[in-house]
Structure 1
Amino acid sequence: MEEAHLIFENLLQRISDEYKSKIPVLIYLVGTKETFQLFIKEQNSVLETLITNKIISLGPGSEKEDKMIKEKIDEKFIGAYKGYKDFDFAWQEIQNIPLKKTENFRAFCQDYAGEVLKVHEKYFPETPEQKFEGYASGIVEAKCREEWGKYLKQKAYTLSTVETTKELQGKKGEKHALDCYVELLHNGTQVARGFGEAKNYELLSSHLEIFSDWLKDFEFNSHPSDNTPPDLAFMIAPSCPSLLEKKLKSKNIEFIQADKSPPIPKPSPTPPPSGININTASESKLIAAFRGSGVYKKSIQQLIINRENNPYKNLTHLVSDLKTTKNKISKKQEAKLQ
């Protein structure tokens, strides 16, 4: 901001000195009238006196422009929430939002975005983002363990992590809320940090700009001069344009592609029962199952004959038929018999 002020002031001062009067100068600034006035007045009153107060009102946008901004907002919504529960209901409501004719293009953007935001708050009150951030935190922790692996092999080094959003104060005094944050400790003292930002939709250049400013404020150091472990930085999202990914690399920020929903672990297959079925097992298997119980081969052969006409319903039925006592059959043997 200071550099921009200086450029404008020098430019306008040169023009004023050369022409000895105020002349029209076209300056293109994106923002509202209030923002522009703040920009002019913030530096000093000299700059303000060099500019004649002229207001250019924006005209109404065309239908084509309205549709373009609508498509951009819709694409971002789809990218963020498609696949989540209730997305179909939310998307139907968004498609039914009437396109109002407004005084200018800015008013249309505010109106349509406001209606989409209402749908967002109705169906997705931060839950998907929070789940994705929690998922991303685990990914960042794993990456930090990998990158700092040679240090963590030493007993003096440990990892400190946080499960929720971490708010840190930068050197300028401002606080920034990080989605993912990890510290490498040496005998309890922080020696390196891992920063992470997560978005559950395609990364935008604006995300990189903000995150880069935060890292600068945190005095991010990915290439320390000595043998000190480096700071690490990650941006996690389902996708990232190739050009933007190159910009991330140039700033020593690693992009990690991650699905919006964490993969659901497949349940381990249930092992087959280890027991035998007394109504279908062979003689040799029954002999092995009854070994040590006092039920001998002759009784087992009789069991096989009896089960053909009267299958055994339970262990009590079996004991009664064999004219023995249940106490003779151990718990281990009982578990083998079905």
Structure 2
Amino acid sequence: MEITLAEPRGFCAGVDRAIEIVERALEKFGAPIYVRHEIVHNTHVVNDLKARGAIFIEELSDVPPGATLIFSAHGVSKAVQNEAAARGFQVFDATCPLVTKVHVEVAKLAKEGYEFIMVGHKGHPEVEGTMGQLDQGIHLVEDVADVARVAPRQTQKLAVVTQTTLSVDDAAEITAAVRARFPQVREPKQQDICYATQNRQDAVKLLSAQVDTVVVVGSPTSSNTNRLRELADRLGVPAYMVEDATELEAEWFAGAARVGLTAGASAPESLVQGVVTRLRELGAISVRTLAGAEETMKFPLPKGLKIDS
């Protein structure tokens, strides 16, 4: 059995930055540091930060006065931002800059009188954060059928935005349905789906053509990780998602000569290597890495957390 590693896989720049913000805050201000929602959707990452003194909360009422608070990489609504300011917390925003870009676009076009159709998954924290940038005027669609049900107040000024971690193919199909129903709809100059999501999905397409089974490392709450497993499955390859090596089942690999391995954008490389070790125990004798897009993106830290020169 041969293991083929997708490239790129695992951590993206937004996740790297978010985790580093929590780590720096713990170093600089000491425990506890409060984080609204899981900083990124990975159980191992969250548990590691909990052990170091991070406390994850959903309601700001659970944060004591004067505490240091961090917003997760998924972004938050205006209401949450305003409540945090009113309560006087020291706030560091770990929202991925690519999510912030969508928020800025929504705010800018809203001032020009636009309503929005948002393509995304109901209940996902990124969607709640983006829709919460405005009091009203953002209509959520999860699939093509939803597009037919949208009832904007007007259609002259309508714009479409998307969650950054969607399936590229699904988003394109839904956006095409929006365009067909509302030909004047304004689309972003550059798609909202982030470069890392796109790159990891492209890598899975390449991987799936060369292997018998695909394993995706990541947590079930991670949207981009779920999309990787679904994509491999859609391409006709048996695909399994695991949080770590302990969840691997030997029967998945019965008769498989080539196993593909990738990881969602919030999964550490250490978990991938743990899966490689376990697959070797199950009979894998070699590991190769596919060529893929090289990622050099790095996002700056918020003021107040940068290393003193």
TM-score, with length taken from structure 1: 0.27
Higher-Rg structure is 1
- Greater percentage in strand: 2
Structure (1/2) with the larger helix percentage? 1
Query: Which structure's relative contact order is higher, taking Cα pairs within 8 Å and 6+ residues apart?
Result: 2
TM-score of the two chains, using structure 2 as the length reference: 0.29
